[in-house]
Structure 1
Amino acid sequence: MNLVPLDLDRDLDLLHTWVTHPRSHYWGLQGATPARVREEYQKIAGNPHHHAWLGYDDDGTPLFLAETYEPAHSELASHYDVRPGDLGMHVLVAPPAPDLSPKRSGLTSAVFRAVMDFCFADSKVDRVVVEPDVRNEAIARKNAEAGFVEERHIELHDKTARLSFCTRAAYEMSVPHLNPAAFEIANRQLIAKAIAEFSHERLIAPVSLGDDRYEFGQIAFTARRLPMEHWIVDPASLASDGSLDALDFISGLRETLGIPTQLLGTYLEEISATLAGTAWKLTHRRETADELVHADFQTIESAMTEGHPGFVANNGRIGFGLKDHAAFAPEAGKPVRLRWVAVLKSESIFVYDGDERAHYLAEFGDTLDHYERQLRSRGLNPDDYRYLPVHPWQWEHKLAVTFAAEVARRAIVPLDESADRYRAQQSIRTFFNIDRPDRHYVKTAIAVQNMGFMRGLSPKYMQATPPINQWVADVVNGDEELRACGFGVLRELAATGYVGDAYHRTGTPSAYTKMLAALWRESPIPMLAEGERLATMASLVHRDRDGNALATALIRESGVSAAEWVATYFRAYLRPIVHCLLQHDLAFMPHGENLILVLENHVPTRVFMKDIGEEVAVMNDQPLPGEVERIRMITSVELKELALFTDVFDGYLRHLAGILDTDGVLPWADFWALAGDCVREHAKDHPAIATRLDLLRPTFAHSCLNRLQLRNTLQMVDIADQESSLIYAGELENPIA
């Protein structure tokens, strides 16, 4: 959001509509004519100590009116001892639009914080002063959330007011999402998920009390048990003699869960961060499922309420502070300008099937000239350098400190922020260009611990990433079946990284050798046809704060039957995954966040796979180009089958099937019958490869995800040898057998 000076010639009609609206009765202009409104605000315009501002959303929509004034030159001067650095403030949020468009959830809180940020952006301001009408309880609550403290009631010429103050420190320390109500919900949701997923992985065994009632330890609850040992625990039903505290619940199960003593604190920190993230979303993100049905790609991306559906601690982000979360978390939805550095070509790598400078020109246009002039102004030759995007957090917390020696000797040269604005995606370190959506995603390294991994990028590892992506894309594009399904991959086309530091010179891989690298991935926007729109596949297992599922809303809005909707989705998603496995021994990591759905009339008709370089495997001995050899994984037939059973059935579709069954949209058995039909139809169409794997076997090995994170929350698996890292807990019934 941004604020600009109010312009009466431009803004009078809008201003009049706002201040005379019944909801604005505390503003004191009910029934005023446009001429009267102009007169009032001309007084402000002529007062050097009082200013009016119009606030806009990032898309240019007018959202609010704000006023700032100097208390020493106002009526307040006779009511308290004005301090240097005091600034008065009023704010009015735009009333609901007359076209009955959906109310934007969380708007008032977002506007209030935008105005407070604006006030404190002036370094001379130490304290904000407000004097709302004592009858206005709603604004009093917003004031308290932001750190205001009421001093006393005072009599002004037009009202009895609450004289209240907020210091800069109080505002910076205000955490409106960390409140008892939000944390109670967050604790209930996390404990319910922990019971469900730990039971699914056979780590705990709740006792049945009959009639869908169960008990585990001190907690009684209601749950539905579906095949595949899928539990759906009702958070509202949790009852205990003590408090429902997720941290105590987890720590009390340390031995049962097998958490190493030395890693218990780390896992609990990820649990705590997950709780705080949930509370933040409950407080600030209030889009309903019905609203998201019609939302744009990035609104859906930022509205997701949790990460991976199977992991209990899935929102750790250890390293982010409060300001970092507000600035860089995907759910914050804030525009981010990436930082850019120049690095010596002789001490870095760049991989791209094309001209390097042409790549930079395509990505940031005239800004390249600005960066080259920056280098020349320091007596450096631009021909000696290449350009690398950096996450702002990484620059502040790591690069300027951890790589201080390289910055000092001009091997790394800080430049400027990007001209384009980006939005963080669910993976935290990947950014979508919102100013030029046709330009590539940018994926940066960030030394933040999240869901069992430090989110770095290895320059050495990424040297093979563009060739791997191109090889996979060639396989996909050259396959008639995959083309018929509309299946596509978003290639990671270019990669770069710095390797000239002491950490690389030791020859020992570590988190420090993964701190300064980046890659560029294709945007799906140029690949859309008329009438198509995009959504992360993670959205299909999303429920809003009221428990309403987006998948259910999409099916309802599509106008087709649930069975037809799911069958179409399976043809777009499941059939290509099966075909890649049977025809090419090619396995992806096809969970929700790694796929982008293409929707037509709210029905998924095709998909894009992404994160190819790190999460693809060729499971045979076919000839591969040397630079692609890294993705070869010779393994057993049973493990090949788990690429479908674990990664697709258990890791993702189990959750979607549970949602549709619970919502009464499509019974569990019917959902899996459609999945089975999809697999069998593929076998009928491709009999020569149908028997290569037994996808209709009665059971499959139960590979457990949470057990991996519980065993080592710092690194769940060895990326170079994932097979040996897996943990099993017996077998699960194959739902399509």
Structure 2
Amino acid sequence: MSDANDTTTFRTATRVGEMTVEPADPARDAALLHGWLTHPASRYWEMGDLTPTQVRDHLTTVTGDDAQDGWLLRHQGTPIAYAETYDPARTVLDGLPPDVLDHRPGDLGMHVLVAPPPPAQGPRPRIPGLTDAVMTTVLRFCFAAPARPAAPAPAHGNGRGALRVVVEPDARNRPIHAKNAAAGFRVLRDVDLVTDGHTKRARLSVCTRDDFAASPLGDGTGPLGAEPAAHLRPALADAAHRHLVAKALAEFTHERLFLPRPSDPVAALEAAREVTHDDPREYVLVLDDARGHGRVTYRFSARRYPLEHWVIDESSLRRTRAVPDGGPSGADERQAPVDALELVAELQPLLGIPEDLLPTYLEELSSTLAGAMAKREREALGTSPSSPGLVDALAGADAAGAFQAVESAMTEGHPGFVANNGRIGFSLSDYRAYAPERAARLRLMWLAARREHTHLSLGAGQSEPALYGTASSAAELSGAERAAFADRLTARGLDPGDYLYLPVHPWQWEHRVAITFAADVAREDLVPLGPGADEYTPQQSIRTLFNTTRPDRHYVKVATAIQNMGFLRGLSPKYMRDTPAVNDWVADVVTGDETLRRARFEILREVAAIGYTGDVYHRTRDNNPYRKMLAALWRESPLPRLAPGERVATMAALLHRDTSGTALATSLIRASGLDAAHWVRSYLDAYLYPLVHCLLAHDLAFMPHGENLVLVLRDHVVTRTFMKDIGEETAVLGPRALPAPVQRVRAVVPDDEKALAVFTDMFDGVLRHLSGILAADGVLPTARFWTIVGDVVDRHHDEHPAVAARHGRELGVDLRAQTFAHSCLNRLQLRDTRQMVDLTDQASSLIYAGRLTNPIGATVPA
């Protein structure tokens, strides 16, 4: 029996008690193993005719060979099984062709022999589940990490560190096939194996760590145990539901779809939409359930701030349902769970979602809910840092690592949209692999796209050789990739010169290219070349990918045909033909303007775009989503432009609260050492001031929401900004002369509508939320916040008299107007969950709900 302190012994707890694995000893174990091998139950080992000496010789051979090992398993000290592990590429499976078994680093072969069962009336009782425990133990042992050199063995012993286990049992051995299946093995095929002149028909099967962890035998009690969808748990669900219900009540109220009333009957008589108060007060919303389930009442505590912004205390939410005739207990109401999906169903008459689209909206909301649970789980496990942890990361030496740590830690998504993480089309495994908050790395799939059907647009200073690397070492493809891609085309008898290289998301390849564009692949207009070398991490926009291998290289934005927030997330090859030209023109405007140069406001150019149009979908009469599935663009990274000591984070981070409720903006202000007013002014000087100037001086409007701005911080203070997503979300709102390729971004609108580029997109879309966070945290009252906003607008007015002369109370864009049109985002999604707006005429698609009082409209600059 092995010594309990022997670190060469692997130990694990099973349902039938402790199991151990130790090296086999030919002298000690030969007689025991001979008795097992000669039993009829072991016939598939085909060693029943060996003598004890021959069994000892076999054990000696196995234990003396560096390509294989023998192991004895004990159950509570009693020998119960024998296992062999081996290098499949050097022993039994050596020589199998790649199409049968693709030998990989980390492969480990395995055989297992369980001791014959004791007689039914024997002295040792049979133990139900013992063979399951043996298989569980062997797999745990195979996958467990080995002890590191000069380090103690793990507490459970010294494992083999396999990444994949390979087995080849006799094809006739049905009991072991069933046991392998229960352990997560996947059958590859039956093969003929020749060993010592004997041919065996074997069932070749493999099992990865994840396969085993998800299997019935990988039951969570061992070092590799895992629960499928572990984030879908009641405690996490309750917190996620409360957060979404609070957000839905706040944002739908903000969009004037209903108005909760104060619980105090006297205060209810004076209720109005624009009431503000910094102290939490009790509110009630009574709904008549359209499904005939009776009256539903929501009660909660909330603060109310300018721009009809509600901050609801999630923990205060209570939902009750009316009980007919008081119910058996005489109560008029019964407590009901707080449930975001039920809330939408109850609100349906007020929300006005078309009945045929309601399930789609509920699916997007359900996906958002699942994502919220997963984000909470990751932070609880310490996988995602808290807000103070992000502040520490931004103070560290790794600028790229801090940038991506912030990007993957975001829990909210779009601050205004309720169903903001729909991702319809992603499976659970897709979510784990590709969702930005998972921070998993991926490799792009590369296609060769026939040049005659493909358009490559290049910005100023770009060329095809520079982009792909034939004329530059700092390019998107390495020399090894270019050589490999050319060799693969040549091997097919194709000329590499006839093709352009198109990156696609691995999800898009798996779900769309190989299926929806099968004909294009078959006729070699699209040729799959395999994954690239660089690893990327997805950004908050999912289809934008950051190069983690070479952070100074470009972002890559690719099409992904998933439904998210009212759009299929594709890219139009036709639309993107002019994208680099639009970016160059905007860059020239920005760099040519002295005010913007002083503000150090910059854009991240989209320097190249590629799109394939050789498919049949481009020959149909009407436009369709399939025309937007094979395109990509390259965008500059901010990292090469940083000075020492500067760090970057997307502006969405300022609206982030971790699962404990700690706001990143509050944490940054406190870490900076500045008072809140000075910190906010520095931020607004970097964000609001240059964008106001772009609008008033150049009629140039961006989509300046949180994910499209990259903030540059020094000592935790925002000092300047980068604007991105120029090609798709830039508009010229006046009649100024434009080059032909830039004409597509012109959208001449009245001055009051032009002002919405500030009022809706900045005041209501970003600053409303930030001011609410800082006020609720007791950092900066909303009155002081909006005074600073007004000061920044006034400063621009005073410093640019020529511009101000064109924009005043009677003429032009008046940012001090008393009110502005209330443009509603959720109403767009509720109206049509498939496509919220017509991208070719966005202004006409907008939905308004009256007018909002401008929080800086109380005073007028002289």
Normalising by structure 2, what TM-score? 0.70
Q: For residues 759 and 534 of structure 2, what CA distance do their matches in structure 1 show?
A: 41
Contact 1:120 1:126 (C-alpha < 8 Å) held by counterparts:
no
Q: How far apart, CA to CA, are the structure 1 residues paired with 2:214 and 2:642?
A: 46
* Among candidates 563, 578, 583, match of residue 469 of structure 1: 583
Partner of 1:610: 724
Amino acid in structure 2 at the alignment position of 1:331: E
Q: What is the CA deviation profile of residues 474-525 of structure 1, one whole-angstrom value per residue up to 9, with x for unaligned ones?
A: 0001111001111010000100011011000124211000000000000111
Structure 1 unaligned regions, length at least 5: 1-14, 20-25, 29-43, 53-65, 95-114, 130-142, 153-161
Q: Structure 1 residue 84: deviation in Å?
A: 6.9
Q: Identify, as 1 or 2, the structure richer in helix.
A: 1
Task: State which of 349, 352, 365 in structure 2 corresponds to 1:271.
Answer: 365
SS at match of 2:404: helix
Asked if 1 retains the 8 angstrom alpha-carbon contact of 2:183 and 2:217, the reply is no
Q: Take 1:462 and 1:277, find their aligned partners in 2: how far apart are those partners?
A: 31
Shift of 1:294: 2.4
Amino acid at match of 1:585: D
TM-superposition CA deviations, 1:387-426 (whole Å, max 9, x none):
0000000000011011000100000000010100000000
Trace 1:716-727 onto structure 2 (pairs within 5 A): 716-727=836-847
Alignment partners' CA distance in 1, 2:161 and 2:706: 35
Shift of 1:118: 6.7
Which SS does the other structure have where 2:684 is aligned?
A: helix
Question: Could you say which residue in structure 2 is the equivalent of 1:542?
Answer: 656
Of 392, 396, 412, which aligns to 1:294? 392
1:197 aligns with 2:317: no
Q: What is the CA–CA distance in structure 2 between the aligned matches of 1:67 and 1:346, rounded to whole Å? A: 44
Q: Which SS does the other structure have where 2:139 is aligned?
A: strand
Q: Deviations over 1:142-165 (max 9, x none)?
A: x9x96576999xxxxxxxxx9779
Amino acid across the alignment from 1:204: F
One of 177, 181, 187 as aligned partner of 2:231: 177
**Comparing 241-250 and 203-212, the one that deviates more:** 203-212
Residues 123-159 of structure 1 show CA distances to partners (whole Å, capped at 9, x for unaligned) of 8864559xxxxxxxxxxxxx9x96576999xxxxxxx
* Change beyond 3 A, Cα 1:555–1:166: closer
Distance 1:665-1:51 versus aligned 2 partners, 3 A rule: farther
- Quote the Cα distance in structure 2 between the aligned partners of 1:88 and 1:372: 43
Amino acid of the structure 2 residue aligned with 1:174: P
Cα 1:356–1:289 shift into 2, 3 Å: same
Cα 1:625/1:220, change in 2 over 3 Å: same
Amino acid of the structure 2 residue aligned with 1:724? S
| Distance across 2 between alignment mates of 1:117 and 1:346 | 49
Q: How does 1:556-567 map to 2 (within 5 A)?
A: 556-567=670-681
SS in 2 for 1:638: helix
Identity in percent:
52
Correspondence for 2:820 = 700
Deviation at 1:68, TM superposition (A): 9.9
Q: Deviations over 1:594-650 (max 9, x none)?
A: 110111000110000000001000011111110000000010001110000000000
Q: Is the 8 A contact 1:51 1:68 kept in 2?
A: yes
2:578–2:742 contact (8 Å) kept in structure 1:
yes
Do 1:69 and 1:88's aligned partners in 2 also have CA atoms closer than 8 Å? no
CA contact (8 A) 2:140 2:223 kept: no
Residues 1:415 and 1:163: Cα distance change in structure 2 (over 3 Å): closer
Does structure 2 retain, via aligned residues, the 8 Å contact 1:70–1:87?
Answer: no
Partner of 1:234: 313
Aligned length: 644
Q: Which residue of 2 aligns with 1:81?
A: 131
Q: TM-score, normalised by structure 1?
A: 0.82
How much has 1:287 moved relative to structure 2? 1.6
Equivalent position amino acid for 2:466 in 1: A
CA pair 370-700 structure 1, distance change in 2 beyond 3 A: same
- Residue 604 of structure 2 aligns with an amino acid whose one-letter code is L
After superposition, the Cα gap between the structure-2 partners of 1:74 and 1:358, relative to the gap in structure 1 and judged at 3 Å, is farther
Q: Is the 8 A contact 1:421 1:434 kept in 2?
A: yes
Deviation at 1:330, TM superposition (A): 0.2
Indicate the structure whose relative CO is greater, using CA pairs within 8 Å and at least 6 residues apart. 1
AA aligned opposite 2:835: Q
Q: 2:420 aligns with which of 308, 314, 338?
A: 314
State the distance in 2 between where 1:469 and 1:736 align: 32
Q: Secondary structure at the residue paired with 1:261? A: coil
CA drift of 1:93 comes to 13
Does residue 437 of structure 2 align to residue 437 of structure 1?
A: no
1:498 to 612, 622, 636: 612
> Secondary structure at 1:729's aligned position in 2?
strand
Q: CA 1:372/1:317 → structure 2, altered by over 3 Å: closer, same or farther?
A: same
Q: Which of 481, 488, 498 is the aligned partner of 2:595?
A: 481
The alignment status of 1:305 with 2:411, answered yes or no, reads: yes
Alignment of 1:337-348 (within 5 A): 337-348=443-454
Q: Where does residue 516 of structure 2 map in the other structure?
A: 402
Confirm or deny: 8 A CA contact 1:270 1:315 kept in the other structure.
yes
- CA change 1:163–1:674 in 2 (3 A) is closer
* C-alpha distance 292-499 of structure 1, shift in aligned 2 (>3 A): same
Give secondary structure in 2 for the equivalent of 1:719: coil
Taking the aligned partners of 1:236 and 1:116, their CA distance within structure 2 comes to: 48
Deviation at 1:325, TM superposition (A): 0.3
Q: Deviations over 1:420-447 (max 9, x none)?
A: 0000000000000001011100000010
Aligned-pair CA distance for 1:116: 14
What is aligned with 2:285?
Answer: 216
Name the amino acid aligned to 1:251. Answer: A
- Contact conserved, 2:425 with 2:562, CA < 8 A, in 1? yes
Write out aligned runs for 1:266-665 (5 A): 266-285=360-379, 286-295=384-393, 296-353=402-459, 354-361=462-469, 362-366=475-479, 367-665=481-779
Equivalent residue, structure 2, for 1:714: 834
CA distance 1:243–1:413, shift in 2 (3 Å): same
Deviation of residue 733 (structure 1)?
1.0
Q: Is contact 1:186-1:279 (8 Å) kept? A: yes
- Measured in 2, the distance between the counterparts of 1:446 and 1:468 equals 23
Give 1:590 shift.
0.2
What code does the residue aligned with 2:281 have? D
**SS of residue in 2 equivalent to 1:581:** helix
Q: How does 1:672-691 map to 2 (within 5 A)?
A: 672-690=786-804, 691=807
Distance 1:151 1:482 in 2: 59
Q: Is the 8 A contact 2:423 2:563 kept in 1?
A: yes
The separation in 2 between residues aligned to 1:254 and 1:438, in whole angstroms, is 48
Root-mean-square deviation over aligned CA pairs: 3.4
Q: Which runs of 5+ in 2 are unaligned?
A: 1-6, 12-17, 21-65, 72-83, 87-105, 118-125, 148-158, 169-179, 185-209, 265-279, 287-296, 320-334, 394-401, 470-474, 858-862
Paired with 1:349 and 1:45, the residues of 2 have a C-alpha distance of 53
Q: Judging changes above 3 Å, is the alpha-carbon distance between structure 1 residues 163 and 528 closer, same or farther for their aligned structure 2 residues? A: closer
Which structure has the larger Rg? Answer: 2
Off by >4 Å, runs of 4+ in structure 1? 44-52, 66-79, 82-86, 89-94, 115-129, 145-152, 162-167
Which of 207, 213, 216 does residue 261 from structure 2 map onto? Answer: 207
Counterpart contact for 2:240–2:372, Cα < 8 Å? yes
Q: Report the Cα distance in structure 2 between the residues aligned to 1:73 and 1:664, rounded to whole angstroms.
A: 68
Shift of 1:262: 1.0
